[in-house]
Structure 1
Amino acid sequence: MKHFLPLLLALMFCSPIHAEKMKTYKKDVTIWYEAFNKNDSTLLDKILSENWVDIPPAPGQPSGPAGAKQILVELTKTFPDLKVTIQDVLQEGNKVVVRSEISGTQKASFMGFPSKSRKLVIQAIDIHEFKDGKIIRTWHTEDWMTGFHQLDVFAK
């Protein structure tokens, strides 16, 4: 009996399910933000699963990694000085929560609003779900209302 407990614990902690839960994705998730900061869509290929799901997707956004690449192109075209600064990273199991700050100066039309060369600084919260070392799903919310005020899109 005294040899049974260590064997049981070893099996429990070495199981594939437990290994997935014990994996830390905190460093891996930074590749997502690095892709936007460097305007490098090849980094998205390294971190996104081929069936990645964006929740909620932008209007007209293609599914999968192609959608992330489209967003990257649109954001870096509109905000050539785009910067995403990670503020906090928390992990629970295979989900990583990132609080970040998005900043940039609008130089092209954005969501139908013409550029006034104004800067925005907004907060974003993302929840990335990992499987087999890749992000399979991302839930996100950004404070675009504050951003639109900063871009002066509501001016009369």
Structure 2
Amino acid sequence: MTFVQIIDCKTDRADELDKIMDTWVETTQGRRTATHSMVGRDRAADDHFVEIVEFPSYEDAMRNSRMPETNRVFEEMVALCVEPPTFTNLDVVRDEQLNKATARRFFEAASAGDLDALPEILTDDCRDHDPTSEEDLVGVRAVSDRVAMYRAAFDFRATVEDQTAEGNRVSTRWTWRATHRGEFMGTAPTGKEVMMTGQTVHSFRDGRIAEAWWNFDTLGLLRQLGAVDL
């Protein structure tokens, strides 16, 4: 179970606190168990800071706290604070990566041929960077037309294998399996079962996909169809 520690402190020596944390990050490289650290400043009080540190589990957090570098940082932090910092230890019981869910929904809608769902998933001015297109696809209609083109050529399903989210971007690694039912890039229907892997980075705005960068093996797909001989 993911474990989160919240450290609440007050200090007027934020720059010095930053240097202490930089040193800890450098000296614990390859040994620390913390996976994510975020520091926020209270908008209502310039001397009030909150750090949120994430670990894979409580046990990992305890291993991290037993490192001598961690204990040294704690002592130096206390010396910089106007009052002793407080700690809140949380077992994460719910973690919703909302943008990841929306990215997954795009692949599900495309696989089901549910083009009516795309306006809910994409911004009106969405932009698609597709390596098979000379120009970017701009707008929901353009993206819908591209999905419809693939659906006319293939009976396909895209399976999400892995996702990573950071900030307003989500990277999705996917596998695409299909049956060739219609003409594709000049190749007549073959009835062949084909497979392709790829990765897509989606950028989000107001909860919807605003931009996408695609990377997939079109050459490998054409080879499976017998359209090229390399």
TM-score band, normalised by the shorter chain? 0.7 to 0.9
* Mapped contact 1:34–1:43 kept (Cα < 8 A): no
Shift of 1:60: 7.5
For CA contacts below 8 A with separation 6 or more, give which structure has more relative contact order: 1
Equivalent of residue 87 in structure 1, options 142, 147, 161: 161
TM-score, length of structure 1 as denominator length: 0.81
Deviation above 4 Å: which 4+ runs of structure 1? 1-5, 10-13, 59-62
TM-score, length of structure 2 as denominator length: 0.56
Counterparts of 1:62-73 in structure 2, within 5 Å, are 63-73=138-148
Considering fraction of residues, name the structure with more strand. 2
Shift of 1:128: 0.1
- 1:61 to 1:55, Cα distance in 2 relative to 1, 3 A: closer
Shift of 1:129: 0.1
Provide Cα deviations, 1:36-88, integer angstroms capped at 9, x if missing partner: 11101111111100010001373587521111110111111111x21000001
* Mapped contact 2:153–2:184 kept (Cα < 8 A): yes
Match of 1:154 in 2: 228
* Residue aligned with 1:153, SS: coil
Total equivalences in the alignment:
145
Match of 1:31 in 2: 105
Distance 1:31 1:127 in 2: 14
Match of 1:9 in 2: 42
Which one has the largest radius of gyration? 2
Distance 1:47 1:105 in 2: 26
Distance 2:162 2:10 in 1: 43
* Mapped contact 1:126–1:139 kept (Cα < 8 A): yes
Distance 2:185 2:223 in 1: 14
Distance 2:172 2:188 in 1: 30
* Mapped contact 1:24–1:91 kept (Cα < 8 A): no
Q: Is residue 98 from structure 1 mapped to residue 172 from structure 2 by the alignment?
A: yes
- 1:116 to 1:125, Cα distance in 2 relative to 1, 3 A: same
Distance 2:156 2:179 in 1: 7
Aligned-pair identity in percent equals 23
Match of 1:131 in 2: 205
* Aligned-CA RMSD value: 2.8
